[in-house]
Amino acid sequence: MPEPHIQDKVYKRSLEDPEAFWTAQADQLQWHKKPDRALQRTTKTLKSGVKHDHWTWFPGGEISTTYNCIDRHVLSGNGNTVAICWDSPVTGLKEQYTYKQLLEEVETLAGVLREEGVKKGDVVLIYMPMIPAALFAMLAIARLGAIHAVVFGGFSPASLAQRMEASRPKAVMTASCGIEGNKGPMGYKKLLEEAIRTSSFKPSKVIVWQREQLRWEPVVKEDGQRNWQRLVKSAKDRRLKAAAVPVKSSDALYIIYTSGTTGLPKGVVREAGGHVVGLNLSIKQIFGVHGPGDVMFTASDIGWVVGHSYIVYAPLLAGATTVLFEGKPVGTPDASTFWRIIEEYKVTTMFTAPTALRAIRREDGDNDYFEQIYGNRGGLRTLRALFLAGERSEPSIVQMYQKLLSKHCAGGAVVIDNWWSSESGSPISAIALSAAAGENFGSAHRHQPLQVKPGSAGKAAPGFDVRIVDDEGNELKPGSMGNIVMGMPLAPTAFTTLWEDEDRFYRGYLKRFNGKWIDTGDAGMIDRDGYISIMSRSDDIINVAAHRFSTGAIEQAVTSHPDIAEAAVVGIPDSLKGHLPFAFITLSTHHHPHPAVPDDKLFKEVQLLVRQQIGAIASLGGMIQGKGMIPKTRSGKTLRRVLRELIENATDGEFEKEVQVPTTIEDAEAIEVAKAKIKEYFRHKGKDLHKAPETKAKL
Ligand code: AMP
């Protein structure tokens, strides 16, 4: 037998001896009080009498996340390393902060917040654009032992009010405006005031960062509104500062609301101890960011978990440099922005969502910017890896970027699909860039990573016991599609409960498999070598004549056609087979054709790809083409449920019927486009083409 790869050895050890494994990881951090042990297994009893297994990481420990992210590096002599590079093509501004400067900003702001009444255990809501002040806010709140709840800047007043009521924040930290791509500044004053007006809970303070692009006028003192810069200036004049306040390992560092593709958003609680320990390992072991000199560019938003973990906390825990980017993959000013950033800041690890790469592919189908401008002049040679997460990466996008990286980036550079969630806090599966760090954290060795299999999101990460089970919770053979679940305990970065809702934690994650497994809500498979493929959310499975297919697998076949930039597949009711897969596609041509019905030739070619890659049984029931038609959440997840409802209504002849749209939608316009395209398609194809199994009783 060949010697197992170091990533496999590390993983095995993390599950077999979690106590020793995680104690060694905890020793890498500075504790105010060392934990008594790494892991304590417990049983929880709910009010309803239900009992379930539970666990606690690092009991007895006390720690400050901010201290470990900032003070520790200044004290060890790295104060002059650049911590944050802010790059804002939407304003034309750039700023840099060393660790020393970051410390000054954060300890002062923490002093200000304390004066404004924020104390350990209080919740502070952050509603901000991607500016350095937003990071200062997160770190200052954590410095006081308070809990932040970041809500994506630009969410509607309704979503904001919902999160305000749920988290009851003492104060809100915000800015006068956000700037979304090339749409110009959007004032936050009206949005926030509207949210506070409708929320039954009212925060007592609103601290406003004034931006010159659009000011917040007037600042109404009687309503608790305060000018952030003025407070900070006064504090600096008085040398007001706050030292780091340690909290218990199990105390909350933050609350983050899940993306909400279904139902009411859940408030995921991140615990202080497990979070620092787990992130500190992942940033080095998985992402290959070792410390000063390494530069991480995570093109996400601080409103998402990817932003929390890999824009803010993890790169700072490592003592590396993080790039904070206020812009979009395209349109600020064009599809070359990401590549400019890599060159300008000498980025070593990049992280984004596949949807961003698809947007770039639509604008620059031949990758001219990547190759002709930045690649050919050697501007991208520092890049060691491109990490992708947030949704499934189809093999075609992984392969395309792998080719580009192999040609123009650092030797051995790889594209790595990694799978995780707000609940997990860090990758549940990935390919590790510096696997050896899991065995010996001090190791600077960059091992040859495991082979990447396009279409798979890599292997399980330390501490995550991932299994595939049937609907009864029985484990399935390697290679079988099923529900993806995890055994307890979850790895330390992961949640252990929902904010003030133990019952919902049980109902949402444990009840489905009677407390035996934690349900991830995702469906997929694990192959013989342990590679995990995430195919779709469990509720995105289509049942065609009693065969279960994942929308992700069919989308993968559809997008393997070179002319298709993006696809969303949903089930359309069929009188014979129950459901048939139906594709919504966007072509990769700059001038997209108008008709909703695609060319016959294209449809035949796509059909052939689906038959070849999946099987004749998965043949498409139809295909609609259009630009700006596939609705997404703000975090880039396809809202298949909405498309499914629209198409179901269409089979009943109800083209205008209202559909339920989550407040997290990115572009509500897309629904109108989809409606119009569906109507055009049905008119063209004849309304009897698709018939529901039974005609619905008309009330
Ligand atoms: P969120 O809670 O917003 O972080 O979303 C988590 C969900 O995003 C997961 O449960 C998956 O459905 C999806 N997701 C994240 N990363 C991937 C990936 N690499 N491949 C497939 N789906 C992913």
Closest ligand 1 atom to 552 CA: 21
Kindly state if the Cβ of 532 falls inside 6 Å of ligand 1: no
Residue nearest to atom 22 of ligand 1 (CA): 391
pLDDT tens profile 330-354: 999 999 999 999 999 999 999 999 9
Kindly state if the Cβ of 635 falls inside 6 Å of ligand 1: yes
Closest ligand 1 atom to 418 CA: 19
Residue 392 alpha carbon to ligand 1 centre in Å: 7
Kindly state if the Cβ of 537 falls inside 6 Å of ligand 1: yes
- Give the C-alpha separation, 152 to 166, whole Å: 16
Residue nearest to atom 15 of ligand 1 (CA): 390
Closest ligand 1 atom to 429 CA: 19
Residue 636 alpha carbon to ligand 1 centre in Å: 10
Instruction: Provide Rg for the chain, Cα atoms.
Output: 25
Report helix, strand or coil for 417.
Answer: strand
Kindly state if the Cβ of 457 falls inside 6 Å of ligand 1: yes
- Give the C-alpha separation, 40 to 60, whole Å: 10
Kindly state if the Cβ of 351 falls inside 6 Å of ligand 1: no
Kindly state if the Cβ of 416 falls inside 6 Å of ligand 1: no
Closest ligand 1 atom to 393 CA: 20
pLDDT confidence of residue 158: 79
Beta carbons within 8 Å of 175's beta carbon, 6+ residues apart? 128, 129, 131, 133, 134, 153, 188, 208, 209, 210, 211, 216
Q: For a ligand 1 pocket test, name from 286, 306, 420 the mutation site with the most ligand atoms within 8 angstroms of its C-beta.
A: 420
- Give the C-alpha separation, 340 to 56, whole Å: 44
Residue 284 alpha carbon to ligand 1 centre in Å: 22
In one letter, which amino acid is 628?
A: G
Residue 422 alpha carbon to ligand 1 centre in Å: 8
Kindly state if the Cβ of 418 falls inside 6 Å of ligand 1: yes
Peptide bond into 218 cis (omega under 30): yes
Kindly state if the Cβ of 419 falls inside 6 Å of ligand 1: yes
Q: Residue 210 burial by CB count (10 A; 0-12/13-18/19+): exposed, middle or buried?
A: middle
Q: How far is CA 666 from the centre of its chain?
A: 15
- Give the C-alpha separation, 419 to 424, whole Å: 10
Q: Which residues, given as ranges, of the chain have pLDDT below 70?
A: 259-264, 545-546, 687-699
Closest ligand 1 atom to 306 CA: 4
Q: How far is CA 355 from the centre of its chain?
A: 12
Beta carbons within 8 Å of 546's beta carbon, 6+ residues apart? 578
> H helices of 458-550, where?
502-505
Token digits for 10? 């590390």
Token digits for 533? 């493929």
Spatial contact of 18 and 488, defined as CB atoms under 8 Å apart: no
Q: Residue 3 burial by CB count (10 A; 0-12/13-18/19+): exposed, middle or buried?
A: exposed
Residue 260 alpha carbon to ligand 1 centre in Å: 12
Spatial contact of 551 and 540, defined as CB atoms under 8 Å apart: yes
Residue 419 alpha carbon to ligand 1 centre in Å: 6
Residue 638 alpha carbon to ligand 1 centre in Å: 11
Beta carbons within 8 Å of 62's beta carbon, 6+ residues apart? 31, 32, 33, 246, 247, 248, 249
Number of helical (H) and strand (E) elements in the chain, helices listed first: 21, 31
Residue 685 alpha carbon to ligand 1 centre in Å: 35
pLDDT confidence of residue 211: 98
pLDDT confidence of residue 698: 28
Residue 220 alpha carbon to ligand 1 centre in Å: 41
Closest CA to 627 of 599, 601, 591: 591
Residue nearest to atom 9 of ligand 1 (CA): 421
In one letter, which amino acid is 20?
A: A
Spatial contact of 493 and 486, defined as CB atoms under 8 Å apart: no
Spatial contact of 482 and 476, defined as CB atoms under 8 Å apart: yes
- Give the C-alpha separation, 393 to 13, whole Å: 29
- The CA angle 426-136-111, to the nearest 5 degrees, is 125
Residue 124 alpha carbon to ligand 1 centre in Å: 26
Residue 271 alpha carbon to ligand 1 centre in Å: 21
Kindly state if the Cβ of 391 falls inside 6 Å of ligand 1: yes
Residue 351 alpha carbon to ligand 1 centre in Å: 14
pLDDT tens profile 226-240: 999 999 999 999 999
- Give the C-alpha separation, 281 to 309, whole Å: 12
Q: For a ligand 1 pocket test, name from 466, 522, 532, 536 the mutation site with the most ligand atoms within 8 angstroms of its C-beta.
A: 522
Residue nearest to atom 23 of ligand 1 (CA): 391
Q: Tell me how far apart the terminal alpha carbons of the chain are, to the nearest angstrom.
A: 67
In what side-by-side order are the strands of the sheet with 518-526? 465-469, 482-487, 518-526, 532-537
pLDDT confidence of residue 111: 98
pLDDT confidence of residue 687: 61
Kindly state if the Cβ of 389 falls inside 6 Å of ligand 1: yes
Q: For a ligand 1 pocket test, name from 391, 531, 532, 635 the mutation site with the most ligand atoms within 8 angstroms of its C-beta.
A: 391
Residue 245 alpha carbon to ligand 1 centre in Å: 33
Token digits for 361? 């592919």
Token digits for 15? 């599950």
Peptide bond into 333 cis (omega under 30): yes
Q: How far is CA 698 from CA 60, 576, 650, 654, 694, in A?
A: 62, 22, 14, 11, 12
pLDDT confidence of residue 500: 93
Kindly state if the Cβ of 422 falls inside 6 Å of ligand 1: yes
Spatial contact of 466 and 484, defined as CB atoms under 8 Å apart: yes
Residue 520 alpha carbon to ligand 1 centre in Å: 9
- Give the C-alpha separation, 435 to 448, whole Å: 9
Closest ligand 1 atom to 268 CA: 2
Closest ligand 1 atom to 521 CA: 10
Residue 437 alpha carbon to ligand 1 centre in Å: 26
Long-range contacts, stretch 601-610, CB < 8 angstroms, 24+ apart: 602/561, 602/563, 605/561, 606/557, 606/558, 606/561, 606/564, 609/557, 609/558, 609/560, 609/561, 610/554, 610/557, 610/558, 610/581
Query: 558: alpha, beta or left, given left = phi > 0 and alpha = psi -120 to 50?
Result: alpha
Residue 217 alpha carbon to ligand 1 centre in Å: 39
Q: Residue 92 burial by CB count (10 A; 0-12/13-18/19+): exposed, middle or buried?
A: exposed
Kindly state if the Cβ of 322 falls inside 6 Å of ligand 1: no
Residue nearest to atom 1 of ligand 1 (CA): 421
Residue 427 alpha carbon to ligand 1 centre in Å: 10
Instruction: Give the H or E element holding residue 487.
Output: strand 482-487
Dihedral of alpha carbons 598, 601, 602, 604, sign: positive
pLDDT tens profile 89-109: 999 999 999 999 999 999 999
Kindly state if the Cβ of 632 falls inside 6 Å of ligand 1: no
